[in-house]
Amino acid sequence: MDVANGDERGTTERVLTLLGLLQQRQLWTGPELAGRLGVTPRTVRRDVERLRTLGYPVHATQGVGGGYRLGRGQDLPPLLLDDQEAIAIAVSLLAGAGGAVAGAGDAALGALSKLDRVLPARLRHEVRALSGSVESFGGGRTPVDPEMLMTLARACRDEVEAGFDYPSGGEVRRRRVEPYRLVASDRRWYLLAYDLDRDGWRSFRVDRMAGVTARTWRFSPRAAPDAAAYVQESVASRVYPHQARFLVHAPADTVRAQVPPSAAVVRPCGAGRCEVLSGGGNLDFVLMHVLLLGHAFEVLDPPELVGRCRELAQRLLAAGAADAGPV
């Protein structure tokens, strides 16, 4: 072995060990660190300077009660975790990604995907065993299997084909897809993927999937739509037999605060107005929901809904006139 390379590797390993020690405890004296690392206090000082050069804010104080401590920096530095810490974090992230924590699912899944890339294989079975004993109660997203989420997240990350069983048209069919993004709504997880058998982009509810597998066959990514916008529009309108568009005379932020993202797509139109796209099994219900927002609005599509507005208005006027008559 080359002596210079061996010395460099030894120094690197020692500096990483020093970083791990500083992350374990708030304060270390120089002699304590020297004893742990098996070096002289002078070498400890040099290694501390190496950490500072790398951007770690290591503070040193003199006298009784003094020593070295790792301060808070402007950026989050890499963390060194032991086995038990890595397992605990992975289990917590699995619980969050599975929907136990509202609003934290996509961030948890992103962090879990990074941890999964470097987690030793010997720790994976412990993570799976512990995550099986974690449950939650109350509201939040529809629960999904965290292992299924991880399989899909890896397939998106590694750009490999995925397959799963999915209900469609009253029967369950095997789907082959090029997975692009996992999208979390306030209630569910969705996968945006290119459906190879139907030759087009589709969104799939993860809680409806079964038998999820990832292949080793890699694909070249296609030009994709905006994942969040595509899935939201699918959930709010395309899944329904009837769709409608309205011009609402109120700022988009105001209307978004009144309408759940899964119920309608709200797009700003400038000058304090916005476009609302929604769908339903019956357009009367969609119309009444927009009416109850309490803002002036116009029907943009479909044209026949304009006539329906007049019919309902006449019915309401008649009901009001009857109530105003003599008892």
Structure tokens at 50: 């190496």
Measuring CA to CA, how many Å separate 268 from each of 55, 273, 314? 43, 6, 31
What are 254's two structure tokens? 């105001």
pLDDT for res 326: 56
- Residue type at position 194: Y
Q: What is the pLDDT of residue 40?
A: 92
CB 85 within 8 A of CB 93: no
Q: Cis omega (within 30 of 0) on the bond before 41?
A: no
pLDDT of the chain along its 327 residues, tens only?
343 444 555 788 888 888 888 887 778 999 999 999 999 999 999 999 998 888 888 899 887 767 898 887 656 666 677 777 777 777 667 666 655 444 556 667 777 776 776 677 777 766 665 555 444 444 456 777 777 887 888 888 888 999 999 998 889 999 999 999 888 776 778 899 999 999 999 999 988 999 999 988 889 989 998 888 888 888 777 778 888 899 999 999 999 889 888 788 898 988 899 999 988 888 888 888 899 999 999 999 898 888 888 888 888 888 877 655 554
Give the pTM: 0.56
Instruction: State CA 60 to chain mean position distance.
Output: 39
